[in-house]
Structure 1
């Protein structure tokens, strides 16, 4: 599975919605007219469901750790509905479809000080960040 930044996720959602609109419009060629087109449209729906997946509920961490409790555990609609002694880091979201993970990248390091140490630190940080982006297909 791939992971996306929030910006890329929003870009892909807009693109998928535009493709769906073009595929089902009455102007020009309709993508869904043949088996390939119908399958392509269905794949777009699956991709959108995965990219936009929202949790339908939350379960307490203790229930996840204790398999016997898992099937009888209470599911809460919102994190706010969890008992007051629970915190969001002690709960697990439940999804109908697996969501695409989000990558949160730090900003590039802007050098303020002009010492050799700081310019080396800046260069190393930015090279590492570029490599992370490259490995995840995020480009520059």
Structure 2
């Protein structure tokens, strides 16, 4: 399969998986999400364009690298850094966000009554906060 056919196949596969992810209520499985990410990385690699060209020279037993034009003998392409990967919010943090949103919804529906829903909301926030604490610490470089 030539390069253009691989590019077209990847574009179609990515589009199909993204459509499935958006239409299915539970989205993609973890393996399918990783597969989609790998397809996107492959496509970025296949379609990347060089930003500069360089050539190596040997002067007095030392190798020097210099920028040059693409037609120079021994020129090789230099590519930009790979794209920044999607930032995925750890599920522990998303659970905390969902718990807080649930708490606000319960509070809005029952502003003056501490019902069973209030207790459920409070318990969920407390549990999610405890589970999220080590994740937040690790994301901030503070360790476990």
TM-score (norm 1): 0.43
| Higher strand proportion (structure 1 or 2) | 2
Bigger Rg over Cα: 2
Question: Quick one: higher RCO (CA 8 Å, sep 6+), 1 or 2?
Answer: 1
| Higher helix proportion (structure 1 or 2) | 2
TM-score (norm 2): 0.42
